[in-house]
């Protein structure tokens, strides 16, 4: 009598595992997630023990890797809507990536793509400059300072970028 129940429980556990794994694959097929993001989304439907098993399986298969996620996120951030290295690393920690992994990923991407803080600030400012066209230089400088500061750039970098783009001596 006990054997059929055990088999039944194993089948239920296996079916539940497959369901949780399927949900994880569904989420990952839409976009890459950090382990913490995926865990939070799965926690809405499944218990933590099962989520841990799913995470282990996904990691073993190479589908769940915070280092890879962080590098891809930083690369996309720098291309689409540049922020400072610190701001990008902070965004990553907000997505559940540990601080050291976030810092290393940002440094790796910057090195691989030949970026530095000034080039990131110039890229961010370049998009803003169209909106500042025709404004008095002092007003444009103020707006550019606020814009770049909100994206995490320091005063020295902002000053150099503003000088290059607004003063153009």
Residue 143 to residue 148: CA distance in whole angstroms: 9
For residue 149, what are its two tokens? 């500061």
| Alpha carbons within 13 A on the beta-carbon side of 126 | 11
In contact, 85 and 110? CB cutoff 8 Å: yes
Residues 6 or more apart whose CB falls under 8 angstroms from that of 27 comprise 33, 38, 41, 42
**What is the residue-level pLDDT of the chain in tens, covering all 169 positions?**
444 434 434 444 689 999 999 999 999 999 999 999 999 999 999 999 999 999 999 999 999 999 999 999 999 999 999 999 999 999 999 999 999 999 999 999 999 999 999 999 999 998 889 888 888 999 999 999 999 999 999 999 999 999 999 876 4
For every residue of the chain, DSSP letters joined together read -HHHHHHHHHHHHHHHHHHHHHHHHHHHHHS---HHHHHHHHTTTS-HHHHHHHHHHHHHHTS--HHHHHHHHHHHHHHHS---HHHHHHHHHHTT--HHHHHHHHHHHHHHTT--HHHHHHHHHHHHHHHHTTS-HHHHHHHHHHHHHHTT--HHHHHHHHIIIII--
């Amino acid at each position: 009598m006990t054997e059929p129940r055990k088999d039944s429980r194993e089948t239920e556990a296996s079916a539940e595992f497959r369901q949780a794994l399927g949900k994880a694959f569904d989420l990952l097929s839409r976009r890459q997630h950090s382990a913490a993001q995926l865990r939070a989304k799965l926690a809405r439907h499944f218990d933590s023990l099962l989520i841990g098993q799913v995470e282990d399986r996904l990691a073993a298969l190479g589908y769940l890797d915070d280092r890879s996620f962080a590098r891809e996120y930083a690369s996309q951030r720098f291309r689409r809507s540049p922020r400072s290295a610190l701001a990008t690393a902070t965004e990553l920690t907000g997505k559940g990536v540990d601080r050291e992994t976030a810092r290393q990923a940002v440094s790796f991407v910057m090195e691989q793509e030949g970026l530095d803080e000034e080039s990131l600030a110039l890229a961010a400012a370049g998009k803003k400059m169209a909106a500042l066209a025709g404004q008095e230089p002092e007003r444009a400088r103020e707006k550019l300072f606020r814009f770049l500061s909100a994206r995490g750039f320091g005063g020295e970098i902002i000053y150099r970028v503003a000088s290059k783009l607004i003063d153009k001596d």
